[in-house]
């Protein structure tokens, strides 16, 4: 006579096998989701770093200084003041987004490291800007400062002088070493290249170096 159904032992064994398979599948799926989140977090850090460097490169490439200064209007003052961990410059990079806005393509920009405004540990790459040439380029109370990327351990800026074919840690257009005599007139000059390096904390606790360089298009002071 043929036996109907399963014995208790067979049911228990079957359940045990299904449980083992289920646990194995659950572990695999959990590791897959965990790896996906980790990859997404790393990708976001890479994206933030590359976007920050791309913006710095684009705006530095459009840096300028001008010999056209109205003695009665100090708002015409321009300059390029670069240190190893900070740079302040005037640029043609401003984009006017509002019709009839009281602004042009000139912009004063500063990049530096600052404390995380959210209260977190570590420092952030900060971008301060004013969409015009300031009345005093050393004053920053009329512009706006925003965070580009946090978790930046260090920033290093290097400035290349085409005439000397040498890199330096600083650049000031007011220094006599950064001026040329052109047709009997003294003209300030800018570095022909700027190299930017960022050391960024990654989600896994490691530190990653991101580096790029940009070429400045207008290396001599404009004469109008």
- Our separate counts of H helices and E strands in the chain read 1, 12
DSSP-H helix ranges across 62-194? none
Please check whether residue 6 lies inside any domain of the structure. no
Query: Contact 164/184 with Cβ under 8 angstroms?
Result: no
Please check whether residue 170 lies inside any domain of the structure. yes
Q: How far apart are CA 117 and CA 201, in angstroms?
A: 17
- pLDDT score for 66: 86
Q: What is the mean pLDDT of each run of 10 residues along the chain (224 residues)?
A: 64 78 74 69 89 96 84 71 95 77 79 88 90 57 85 95 89 84 76 96 90 94 78
**Domain ranges, residue 101:** 41-215
- pLDDT score for 106: 86
Q: Which of 86, 148, 142, 156 is nearest to 117 (CA)?
A: 148
Please check whether residue 203 lies inside any domain of the structure. yes
Please check whether residue 9 lies inside any domain of the structure. no
Per the structure, the count of domains in the chain is 1
Please check whether residue 31 lies inside any domain of the structure. no
Q: How far apart are CA 94 and CA 106, in angstroms?
A: 6
Please check whether residue 224 lies inside any domain of the structure. no
- pLDDT score for 119: 78
The pairing of beta strand 185-188 with beta strand 144-150: unpaired
Please check whether residue 4 lies inside any domain of the structure. no
CA geometry: angle at 106 spanning 193 and 156, to 5°?
A: 35
Please check whether residue 104 lies inside any domain of the structure. yes
- pLDDT score for 163: 82
Strand partners, 180: 187
Query: Contact 85/111 with Cβ under 8 angstroms?
Result: no
- pLDDT score for 75: 61
Query: Contact 198/43 with Cβ under 8 angstroms?
Result: no
């Amino acid at each position: 006579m043929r036996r109907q159904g399963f014995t208790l032992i067979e049911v228990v064994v079957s359940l045990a096998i299904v449980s083992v398979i289920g646990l194995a599948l659950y572990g695999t799926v959990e590791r897959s989701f965990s790896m996906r989140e980790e990859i997404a977090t790393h990708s976001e850090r890479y994206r933030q770093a590359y976007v920050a460097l791309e913006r710095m490169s684009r705006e530095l490439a459009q840096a300028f200084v001008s010999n056209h200064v109205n003695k009665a209007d100090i708002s015409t003052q321009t300059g390029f003041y670069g240190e190893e961990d900070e740079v302040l410059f005037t640029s043609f990079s401003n984009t006017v987004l509002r019709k009839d806005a009281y602004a042009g393509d000139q912009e004063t920009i500063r990049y530096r490291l600052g404390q995380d405004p959210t209260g977190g540990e570590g420092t952030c790459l900060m971008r301060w800007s004013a969409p015009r040439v300031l009345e005093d380029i050393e004053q920053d109370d009329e512009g706006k400062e925003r965070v580009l990327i946090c978790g930046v351990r260090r920033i290093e800026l290097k400035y290349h002088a085409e005439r000397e074919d040498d890199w330096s840690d600083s650049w000031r257009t007011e220094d006599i070493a950064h001026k040329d005599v052109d047709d009997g007139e003294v003209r300030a000059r800018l570095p022909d290249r700027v190299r930017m390096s960022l050391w960024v904390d990654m989600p896994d606790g490691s530190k990653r170096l991101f580096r790029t360089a940009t070429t400045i298009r207008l290396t001599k002071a404009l004469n109008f």
